Structure 1
Amino acid sequence: MPLTEAGIYAAALRLIDEDGVEALTMRKLATVLDANPMSLYHHVPNKEAVLRGVTRMVGAQFRTVTLEDAPWQERIRLLATDFRTLAHRHPELMAYSFSHQPDFIQHDDPFWTALTGIVAAAGAPPSEVPEIAALIVAVVIGVLAAELNGSLHQWANLKPPGPETDGRHEPSDAAPGSRGAGAGTAGPDPDRMFRLVMDTLITGLESRLTAGRDGQDAGRR
């Protein structure tokens, strides 16, 4: 079967899902594809190009339910939840993309297209839509990155300094950044924490949009 870029990216994604980004090499990829390692370079120049191609492929496959008649708050919550589902479907790739590929979301990606459409439908001024959408992406990705590498669980188990703790906290079972960090350790429900993040984002955006409309109304008077 002839080599193609799509076939290379699909094989690379399987390797990443199984063993992580660090384990991916051009030689191992060629072995999986039953191809000469040098033949891969006719399609992709290096491992970094493979990773970018895989990320683009996964991003293009993002799907969410379209609720055109639903309130924008419900639509943005569903969009973020579906993006989180995608991140957990390919945690190794997405964790790498969040920290190493600042341009992994492009203007024509399904996620960005849907998000900017929702922000515009919420009533944001057209000039502010990209900025507001970018901030939402930054917050959601930051939370997901911390969730995937175990940091969120670690931080949520820290006790605030006080008379009972005297600034001390119980050690976690796993170090931050380790695969499966926090597994087996009691802590807050990550689904509930993500809902809290979205509640906070939505409340903040509602307040911002309301203040903007009130300011416009005041200016007309």
Structure 2
Amino acid sequence: MVDELGAEGLTMRALAERLGVKAASLYNHVASKEALVDAVSELVNVEIDHAPLDDPDWRAGLTAYARGYRAVFLRHPNAIALLARRRVEGDRALRGYDALLALLGRAGLPAADAAETAAALDYLVLGSALETFTAGFTREPVAYRSAYPALADALAESFVRGGGGTGLDGRGFELGLRLLLDGVELRAGTSAGS
């Protein structure tokens, strides 16, 4: 329902209608709307593969994890609004963050830097799944040329690289991820030398 209708579409009444039951009967299975959202969170978190976080090559592991994490939210972008500002209490999500922070520690980051890097990774993954850069540009690149020549050139040249807007969005995520990884490496090297 969240995938179809968005976060606001998930109500106890709408769920009951979808299931062909009375809303009151749902409370025999789910204590509250809050508990229902917790269940949605768990369903989404089950799809996130944490195995790459065990990779001895921290860079390869973090890359694979970030790509997989993003893929889950590309499949469920409406879940972001429902889950992004919620407390993290589910065991699977907590284990995932623990594994991520352990990987960043193995990479050489102090704990505070690891926490900030995990936050930056969340921003990159969730932001790129929630809002595509190219969705805001509804015209062909050439249509921007007279008033916005730099925008027209940038879009046109990026589209030539393949995949149109989807390709540009994917490459933008990959660039952000590489920059984040390079920053981790630099920060870990600086921390090790301190």
TM-score bin (small chain)? 0.7 to 0.9
Unaligned runs of 5+ in 1: 1-14, 159-163, 171-184, 217-221
Residues 138 and 67 of structure 1: CA distance in aligned 2, closer, same or farther (over 3 Å):
closer
Aligned pair count reads 177
Counterpart among 90, 99, 106 of residue 121 in structure 1? 106
Query: Identity percentage over the alignment?
Result: 27
- 1:209 aligned partner: 188
Which is greater in Rg?
1
TM value normalised by structure 1: 0.65
Q: Identify the residue that residue 11 of structure 1 maps to in structure 2.
A: none
Q: 1:43 to 1:61 in 2, by over 3 A?
A: same
User: Would the alpha carbon gap of residues 47 and 68 (structure 1) be closer, same or farther in structure 2, given more than 3 Å must change?
Assistant: closer
Taking only aligned residues, the RMSD between alpha carbons, in angstroms, comes to 3.2
Shift of 1:23: 2.7
Is 1:25 the counterpart of 2:25? The answer is: no
Structure 1 residue 195 displacement after superposition: 1.0
Report the TM-score when normalising by structure 2: 0.72
Using a 3 Å threshold, how does the CA distance of structure 1 residues 102 and 68 change in structure 2: closer, same or farther? closer
Q: Which one-letter code corresponds to 1:73 in the other structure?
A: R
Please list, as runs of the form range in 1=range in 2, the aligned pairs for 1:76-87 lying within 5 A after superposition. Answer: 76-87=62-73
Encode CA deviations 1:62-113: one digit per residue, 9 max, x unaligned.
2244474542111101000010111122222234323xx3425767514313
CA contact 1:64–1:78 (8 Å) conserved in 2: no
Which residue in 2 is equivalent to 1:103? 87
**Residue segments in structure 2 that go unaligned for 5+ positions in a row:** 140-144, 153-162
Question: 1:146-157 maps to which residues of 2 (within 5 A)?
Answer: 146-147=131-132, 152-154=133-135
- Who is 1:175 aligned against? none
